Structure 1
Amino acid sequence: MGFNRPSKIQETALPMMLADPPQNLIAQSQSGTGKTAAFVLAMLSRVNPNNTFPQCLCVTPTFELAVQTGRVVEKMGKFFVNVNVAYAVQGNRVARGTVIKEQIVIGTPGTLLDWCFKLKFMDIRKIQVFVLDEADVLMSKQNFSDQSVRIQRALSQDCQMLLFSATFEDPVLQFAKRIVPDPNIIKLRREELTLSNIRQYYFECENKEDKYRALCNIYGSITIGQAIIFCQTRKNAKWLYWSLVKDGHQATLLSGELTVDQRAVVIQNFRDGKDKVLISTNVCARGIDVKQVTIVVNFSLPTKGLHVADFETYLHRIGRTGRFGKNGLAFNMVEKHNVPLLFSIQEHFKIIIKRLDSEDIEALEEIED
């Protein structure tokens, strides 16, 4: 798979996850650092292929992340004969009375809850490894948080529990400690949270039309491998998509309005390199691991409420580029009245986000050097 040596999170967490007897773990790890491969390896190490019932359970906040994690399991377990994955996600219809025989089940909280308790597709007491991925996202949605806790409470006492989160604000850490008994804890220092290999810039703009002009100047000046452009609302994402298409630019749109199947096709086409530019709402900010993404554009800054920056979402968004230590670029389109939001992001992560003039083509071209 191209792994020559462990990443920092793998080096620290794997000895704990693979220990005998099993140890519980709460770990802070950003996307692109190799944490999925780490907990997948832990799950595979605990599976007995001769037992045809679920032995490992992985909870993720989105359909996209569930499918992506499953792909890693399939790739890493390629030579592990008779070990299979089942997807407990919306749209995967399983007939009543079915007994799940796959050893690893990956899914979203609501569907997993149905599989375990309502439809009784599996015996949750036989689960040996329980993984909660992107716990900060799970916790941010009340029903996800409650559903995850309900699943965890039904597990056997000797089930190994592994929880991962990109951020560890106090509420997230409290949730993690509530759900994982006697854990080892791996927590990053604040200065380690920002991806230093991603250069971050901003354009000060008057309105969305001004932002659009700045975006077109980036298009014209920088060689784009693949790019993700984030909008805060579906309405803005649609407007931007049709504006780009009308002006002859190739782009594709991903939003929560699409069906599960449509979202899967859009993401697969982007992964395969058929589409170079993906416009998305926050549904895509987490769990989209496409190594060719070189540029992330925040067409609007992520916010919580009117005048509060959403630091966690900002981190996840720009984390779509600069995967596994590669260099990446992040551009922020900021209205004048939102510049204080940008400054609060700088202050939170102790970074400098450089200002650029979108009309200075020479300066834009120099960014690539």
Structure 2
Amino acid sequence: MTVSTFSELELDESLLDALQEKGFTRPTAIQAAAIPPALEGRDVLGSAPTGTGKTAAYLLPALQHLVDFPRKKSGPPRILIVTPTRELAMQVADHARELAKHTHLDIATITGGVAYMNHAEVFSENQDIVVATTGRLLQYIKEENFDCRAVETLILDEADRMLDMGFAQDIETIAAETRWRKQTMLFSATLEGNAVKDFAERLLEDPVEVSATPSTRERKKIHQWYYRADDVEHKTKLLVHLLNQPDTTRSIVFVRKRERVHELVAWLREAGINTCYLEGEMVQAKRNEAIKRLTDGRVNVLVATDVAARGIDIPDVSHVFNFDLPRTADIYLHRIGRTGRAGMKGTAISLVEAHDHLLLGKITRYMKEPLKSRVIDELRPTTRAPSEKLTGKPSKKVLAKREEKKKEKDKEKPRVKVRHRDQKNIGKRRKPTAATTTESPKVDE
């Protein structure tokens, strides 16, 4: 059955009113696929990248369950949502409050970077939904401050990120503590590889597997291309030129390593571009301040690593720059999903050195569409483009040369002389008789 409107999903009027007030009338692909089985109480294994509406895909059925089966008296949380980062936890909780604004449901968060006293009300008062990060939640469970016995639905958001961050054992411990639950939902940006699926098999029971990649129409809202660069210095000049363009209003620049963050921020500031940054080791107050400076318009550029940028949701991002290409194609999809949101158009630009072309080939195959190359006249690369195709597959000529080299090496190997006596059949060896066996000497006790 094709679902074209939220009203077809048999959601409560209070939820439909909240959706309408937010301007949402048609479910996204992941919402249309995940909500019906979740409403039936099935376990759900969902694959959807950032910006596809996956948060509402698990929040709406969870809220509907609480509306359909109201509790008779106050108690500990019935819905537990676990996220990899504090920022994502706060965003999910805010989204849940918006959707539940016409209900009497209580929603709270448990995250690191917050004093214990601020969480005391979560333990003492009635809570229907708790959104938490793994570390602080596990601490409270071990201290017996958080009661898991009432949890009916466990939701794991961005499970692939949690596995990357080494939280697998923590999540399994949390899942074991919520063993009385009736439903589990796990969402990941991608189900490629065995890691997430193997992990899901241990936690989910006969799940419905749903996935939704952005439609071609959605992807076309994000214009993508790349510039070839000779080296890091050339990439920096290209980036400065692009950031100074009038249509570049709010940008996120992605790099691979934390060390590169500080280098690039210094270079951009020398060029007169006011920049803020996020890195993995920043304290929460500084992270919040950096994000606030960008959203308030005090700066227009944020430099970040993939780890540091997990879970942040910054509105009206006009451009995403890949100063360093990501190691995997699904991370590329995560990155560019920061722009072109809420029906707006966006731009994703990659700066590519010669050694990046194999990665670029992987990304184009994953996206199933080629990325076009552009050139800035005054900043043309001086080096030639790699001769091998972007697919990363060696040409027939290269394969033939490899075969010749292999044959030459085989010729150079010393030949082992095969002697006739080595091939003789020496027959079976005779078993030792009783006469030939020797008894071990007895020791007087």
Shorter-chain TM-score tier: 0.7 to 0.9
The 5-angstrom pairing of residues 201-350 of structure 1 reads 201-303=225-327, 310-350=328-368
- Check whether the contact 2:81–2:131 (CA below 8 A) recurs between aligned residues: yes
How far the C-alpha of 1:112 sits from its partner, in A, is: 1.5
Whole-angstrom distance in 1 between the partners of 2:124 and 2:293: 30
Match among 31, 55, 60 for residue 36 of structure 1: 55
**What is residue 203 of structure 2 aligned with on the other side?**
179
- Check whether the contact 1:100–1:121 (CA below 8 A) recurs between aligned residues: no
Whole-angstrom distance in 2 between the partners of 1:66 and 1:193: 29
**What is residue 24 of structure 2 aligned with on the other side?**
3
Matched, 1:25 2:44: yes
Distance 1:41 1:274, change over 3 A: farther
Whole-angstrom distance in 1 between the partners of 2:246 and 2:354: 24
Matched, 1:45 2:64: yes
- Check whether the contact 2:278–2:309 (CA below 8 A) recurs between aligned residues: no
Distance 1:97 1:88, change over 3 A: closer
Match among 322, 342, 352 for residue 370 of structure 2: 352
How far the C-alpha of 1:316 sits from its partner, in A, is: 0.9
Matched, 1:151 2:174: yes
**What is residue 134 of structure 1 aligned with on the other side?**
158
What is the TM-score of this pair, normalised by structure 2? 0.73
Whole-angstrom distance in 1 between the partners of 2:105 and 2:172: 31
Structure 2, unpaired ranges of 5+: 1-21, 380-445
Distance 1:237 1:58, change over 3 A: same
More relative contact order, 1 or 2 (CA 8 Å, 6+ apart): 1
Structure 1, unpaired ranges of 5+: 304-309, 362-369
**What is residue 109 of structure 1 aligned with on the other side?**
134
- Check whether the contact 1:126–1:156 (CA below 8 A) recurs between aligned residues: no
**What is residue 93 of structure 1 aligned with on the other side?**
115
Whole-angstrom distance in 2 between the partners of 1:321 and 1:359: 27
- Check whether the contact 1:28–1:187 (CA below 8 A) recurs between aligned residues: yes
Whole-angstrom distance in 2 between the partners of 1:257 and 1:284: 8
How far the C-alpha of 1:296 sits from its partner, in A, is: 0.5
SS at match of 2:174: helix
Give, as a single letter, the amino acid of the residue that structure 1 aligns with 2:330. E
How far the C-alpha of 1:38 sits from its partner, in A, is: 2.4
The runs of at least 4 aligned residues of structure 1 exceeding 6 Å deviation read 189-194
SS at match of 1:156: coil
- Check whether the contact 1:202–1:353 (CA below 8 A) recurs between aligned residues: yes
* Range moving further from structure 2, 146-155 or 45-54: 45-54
Whole-angstrom distance in 2 between the partners of 1:230 and 1:107: 27
What is the TM-score of this pair, normalised by structure 1? 0.87
Whole-angstrom distance in 2 between the partners of 1:223 and 1:97: 43
- Provide the aligned length of Structure 1 versus Structure 2: 350
SS at match of 2:318: strand
Whole-angstrom distance in 1 between the partners of 2:79 and 2:209: 21
Give, as a single letter, the amino acid of the residue that structure 1 aligns with 2:372. K
Identical aligned residues as a percent: 33
How far the C-alpha of 1:59 sits from its partner, in A, is: 0.9
- Cα offsets for 1:151-174 (capped at 9, x unmatched): 112223442211111101132222
- Check whether the contact 2:110–2:119 (CA below 8 A) recurs between aligned residues: no
- Cα offsets for 1:82-116 (capped at 9, x unmatched): 5131x221112224994353322212212211122
The 5-angstrom pairing of residues 73-88 of structure 1 reads 73-81=96-104, 83-85=106-108, 87-88=109-110
